[in-house]
Structure 1
Amino acid sequence: MAYPHVAPEAPKFSRSVVVGNLIFVSGCQGMNPETLKTETGVFEEQMVIALDKVRMAMEEAGSSMNNIVKTLMLLKNLEDYPRRRKTELEYYQEYAPFLVDSPPASTFMQVASLARPEFLVEIDVIGVVSRE
């Protein structure tokens, strides 16, 4: 959710910020935004939840997934990297076909832990409102 539409029990930060033509999306992970619980330990399912949050933030900013220009993906387990690539490609095919052949600049890092021990992936994104 974009500020000020932040659940009262959630930490106070903006899910996304628009500055000029740029959209900055805070780290999105596999936690259910309604219950604030991580309801799956399956990497691919957590990644789809995170990508859904990214898509929602991009759309709330008046843009779309096709306008992502930079991603930072943090993975807890290096073994999930091949599944990350496959899940990302399948998601882009459905929601951001432009990115299939013109992927954004991307940084991947394995991390020892994320904000909660059950989180397996976190995605931070920079996008543009318009590519024109």
Structure 2
Amino acid sequence: MSRILTFARKMSTVTRKIINTPNAPGAIGPYSQAVQVDNTVYISGSLGLIPEKGALVEGGVKPETHQSIKNIEAILKSVGGSLNNVVSTTVLLADINDFAEVNEIYKQYFTKNYPARAAYQVAALPKGGRVEIQSVAVLGEIKDA
């Protein structure tokens, strides 16, 4: 019986690492840029913020979408991953009418075997942003079936 309990304790132990890279904007509230649990990386919502300034990139939803995804990519790179490791995203839009423009940019970065995704219009985003993208990635070699 104690052998089973020992095995169960080992199975329930996971490693959690807080991710913070200067190559992506810092958190603007009480949360982490990302949290890695074993080989899964949970990336907080990414606005189109310029890392060095903490300000939104100018030009509207298209440049904000580019910058948001570049920020996600920088976080993943800091832990040895890439956008290819992304398995799920949630896209928050200040205006659902921007959906087509966001998709146009999104598919430049996610070109095949797209991540699972949900998209919602929200009442407002921090700093007056037009788009925010949250993502989950699994590190390691990706083999598509």
**Contact 2:90 2:118 (C-alpha < 8 Å) held by counterparts:** yes
User: Distance in 2 between the 1:60 and 1:37 partners?
Assistant: 21
Shift of 1:13: 2.6
User: Distance in 1 between the 2:81 and 2:50 partners?
Assistant: 23
**Contact 1:47 1:121 (C-alpha < 8 Å) held by counterparts:** yes
Give the TM-score normalised by structure 2: 0.76
Shift of 1:115: 1.7
Shift of 1:4: 7.6
- SS of 1:70's partner is strand
User: Which amino acid letter does the alignment assign opposite residue 132 of structure 2?
Assistant: E
> What is the number of equivalent residue pairs in this alignment?
124
CA-to-partner distance for each residue in 1:43-95, whole Å, 9 max, x for gaps?
A: 10001110000001111111110010000000001111001111111223xxx
Residue 113 of structure 2 is aligned to residue 119 of structure 1? no
Runs of 4+ in 1 over 4 A off after TM superposition: 4-10
Q: Which runs of 5+ in 1 are unaligned?
A: 93-99
Name the counterpart of 2:8: none
Structure scoring higher RCO (CA < 8 A, sep ≥ 6) equals 1
User: Which amino acid letter does the alignment assign opposite residue 110 of structure 1?
Assistant: Q
Cα 1:19–1:45, aligned 2, differ >3 Å: closer, same or farther? same
User: Which amino acid letter does the alignment assign opposite residue 103 of structure 1?
Assistant: Y
Q: Within 5 Å, which residues of 2 pair with 1:1-132? A: 2-3=19-20, 10-92=28-110, 100-116=111-127, 118-130=128-140, 131=142
Cα 1:121–1:77, aligned 2, differ >3 Å: closer, same or farther? same
User: Which amino acid letter does the alignment assign opposite residue 20 of structure 2?
Assistant: Y
User: Which amino acid letter does the alignment assign opposite residue 123 of structure 1?
Assistant: I
Greater displacement, 5-14 / 102-111:
5-14
User: Which amino acid letter does the alignment assign opposite residue 108 of structure 1?
Assistant: A
User: Which amino acid letter does the alignment assign opposite residue 96 of structure 2?
Assistant: L
